[in-house]
Amino acid sequence: MRQRIDIAFMTEKVAVDIRGCFWHRCATHGTKPKANADRWADKLDRNVARDQHTVQRLTELGWDVIVVWEHEDPKEASERIRNAILARRAGLKATTTERAVP
Ligand SMILES: [Zn+2]
């Protein structure tokens, strides 16, 4: 299974997964193509399964995975990424503080 991540901050272990609304079945904008419906359903299902697998695997390896959707405000998304990185940096500095996992 091919693993793909869009941006990785190696030191902080923060990964950013950017997802297209159509290809990754965004809850708001995911559509079902009518032509070749079965083939598409199959393909998009595989994408979603791969997304879940990627997030699960990275989380197991100690990464924070920030999922950014195509429809999101880039400013808000970058704020979220920034916060995750800052939280990681704070965690890296503090040796006794347990990192809060949402
Ligand atoms: Zn969307």
Residue 1, in any domain of the structure? no
76 Cα: distance to centroid of ligand 1 (angstroms) = 15
Identify the CA nearest to 7 among candidates 60, 48, 55, 65. Answer: 65
Q: Is residue 39 part of a domain?
A: yes
Interval between CA 31 and ligand 1 midpoint (Å): 10
Centroid of ligand 1 to alpha carbon of 39 (angstroms): 21
What CATH number does residue 69 fall under?
Answer: 3.40.960.10
CA of 86 to the centre of ligand 1 (A): 27
Give residue 30's pLDDT.
87
What pTM was computed for the model?
Answer: 0.81
Sites in the chain below the pLDDT cut of 70: 1-3, 94-102
Three-state DSSP state, 89: helix
The sign of the dihedral angle between the CA atoms of 69, 54, 60, 94 is negative
CA of 44 to the centre of ligand 1 (A): 14
Rounded-to-integer distance, Cα 52 and Cα 61, Å: 14
The tally of domains found in the chain comes to 1
